[in-house]
Amino acid sequence: MNSAAGGKETLMKTIIRATDIHKEYKLGKNNFVHALRGASLEIKEGEMTAIIGPSGSGKSTLMHIVGVLDRPDRGEVWLLGERVDNLPKNRLPKLRAAKLGFIFQGYNLVSTLTAMENVALAAEYAGHSRRESLEMAETKLSDVGLADRTRHLPTELSGGQQQRVSIARALVNNPKVVLGDEPTGNLDTVTSNEIIEMMQEINQTTGTTFILVTHDQEVAKVCDRVIHMRDGVVLDEGESIATSPS
């Protein structure tokens, strides 16, 4: 557990609640995959939480539904006190841009845009002006240690640097929650540890809630809580340092 336990004892508000989530994908005429079979979880404000489980356990599907990137077939998802699984589709992009940040294993950067332009794009989607977005992007890139790489294209950056750009993009709108899908999956051990430490520092200094889907036990070790999944259900939500005895 990390050293922020004492500081997080007061952050007990539930920021995300998913209840009895079911999701089925059709692969063929009579071929279905039951990705989620009644998964439920709660995330407290300010927590850094890992979701782990074997391939096919449903952890990425659950993260996508919690992040309003996909809809459940059944169940409810609540974000910041608002039910979001049944919102009209035209409301979802603005909701994601304002409240959520995303970090992906493959970085998902636009190859023809510079680091600063990639980050600024997320701010523009949230309604900021071009000038303001570029200023915000420059600040966030400096925060993640890339002040001297703002005008570099993704192909001119290392994997670790590209993931730092991705993290800056996730943070540019000061989201309440950042969701990461295998954020260290494409990185070597040294770079992975640097990224983990940076996310942990951001979590501790800003109170931003992190939910990280991962196979990496080093990522899980620094998290406040580890949620275990298998066969589309949550087996164990773990014990948060915010509620564990001192």
As a whole number, mean pLDDT of residues 224-228 equals 95
* pLDDT score for 193: 92
Q: What's the pLDDT band for 1 if we cut at 50, 70, 90? A: very low
Q: Which two tokens stand for residue 94?
A: 């603005």
**SS3 annotation, 25-66:** EEEECCEEEEEEEEEEEEEECCCEEEEECCCCCCHHHHHHHH
Q: Which two tokens stand for residue 114?
A: 């510079």
Backbone angles phi, psi at 63, to 5 degrees: -65, -40
Q: Domain residue spans in the chain?
A: 5-236
- Length, in residues, of the chain: 246
Q: Is 89 exposed, middle or buried (0-12, 13-18, 19+ CB in 10 A)?
A: exposed
pLDDT of residue 92 exceeding 70: yes
Side chain identity at 92, as an amino acid letter? L
C-beta separation of 199 from 166 below 8 A? no
d(CA 26, CA 30): 8
Q: Looking up tokens 């709660």, which residue turns up?
A: 42
Q: What is the mean pLDDT of the chain?
A: 90
As a whole number, mean pLDDT of residues 158-169 equals 96
C-alpha distances out from residue 15 to 62, 124, 244, Å: 16, 25, 19
Pairing of strands 74-79, 82-83: antiparallel
What topology is assigned to 5-236 in CATH? Rossmann fold (3.40.50)
* pLDDT score for 216: 86
d(CA 133, CA 208): 20
Q: What is the pLDDT of residues 116-160, one digit of tens each?
A: 999 999 999 999 999 999 999 999 999 999 999 999 999 999 999
pTM confidence score: 0.89
CA-based diameter of the chain, in Å? 54
d(CA 67, CA 179): 7
